[in-house]
Amino acid sequence: MEVRDDRLYTKSHEWVQKEDDGTVTIGITDYAQDLLSDVVFVELPETDNTVSNGDELAVAESVKAASDIYAPISGDIVAVNEDLEDSPEKVNEEPFDGGWIFQMKPSDESELDALMDPDAYREMCESEE
């Protein structure tokens, strides 16, 4: 199981990466994609929507399960990964790179402080297993 050191994490297994332009990119972790098994569809959020921390924004669907993906912070959706419409398997193959799901512009950057650092996330996953 891979946990990237340059990301922040949520209890619901999303990763969050701060970009240079002030936006954040969000995806699901390697641990989460492994639990879901083969992802066959990702229901993406609408761009230009303002959302609140904890809103259900996207759904990752595998052959036998479907899992909600939540907004890790409040803000605006500025981009979604449209490649996933044709290639949902990227969530499995490269969860931290090409399998990103959406990008947000935070309305309050201090919300990022509440997210887990890589060590805390690693510890949480190990305790779940």
Partner 1 sequence: MPFIPHTEADIQEMLDTIGVSSIDELFAEIPEAIRAKPLEKVPEGLNEMELMRLMRDRAARDENGLRTFVGAGVYEHHIPAAVWEVTTRGEYYSAYTPYQAEASQGTLQTIYEFQTMIAGLTGMEAANASLYEGGTALAEAILMAVRAHKGKSHRVLVPETVHPSYRRVAASYCGAQDVMVESIPYDPASGTIDPAALDSVEGDFAALVVPQPNFFGRLEDEAALAAKAAERGALVIASVNPMALSVLTPPGEWGADIAVGEGQPLGIPMSSGGPFLGLMATSKKLVRQMPGRLAARTVDTDGREGFTLTLQAREQHIRRAKAKSNICTNQGLAMTAATIYMALVGEAGLTQVAGVSHSNTRKLVDRLTAIEGVEPLFDGPFFHEAALRLPKPATEVTPALTERGILGGFELGREYAGLENGLLVCATETKSEADLDAYAEALAAVL
> Which chain residues interact with partner 1 by CB under 8 A?
41, 43, 46, 61-66, 68
What is the smallest separation between the CB atom of 29 and partner 1, expressed in angstroms? 20
What is the smallest separation between the CB atom of 49 and partner 1, expressed in angstroms? 9
Q: Closer to partner 1 by CB, 34 or 68: give it.
A: 68
Record the tokens describing residue 118, joined without a space. Answer: 């890589």
Q: Cβ contacts of residue 100 below 8 Å, gap of 6+?
A: 25, 26, 27, 81
What is the smallest separation between the CB atom of 112 and partner 1, expressed in angstroms? 27
Q: Closer to partner 1 by CB, 17 or 74: give it.
A: 74
Give SS3 for 96.
Answer: coil
What is the smallest separation between the CB atom of 51 and partner 1, expressed in angstroms? 12
Give SS3 for 120.
Answer: helix
Contact 2, 97 (CB under 8 A): no
Q: Closer to partner 1 by CB, 19 or 34: give it.
A: 34
The one-letter code for the residue type at 103 is Q
Q: Closer to partner 1 by CB, 41 or 122: give it.
A: 41
- Give the whole-angstrom CA distance, residue 105 versus residue 60: 22
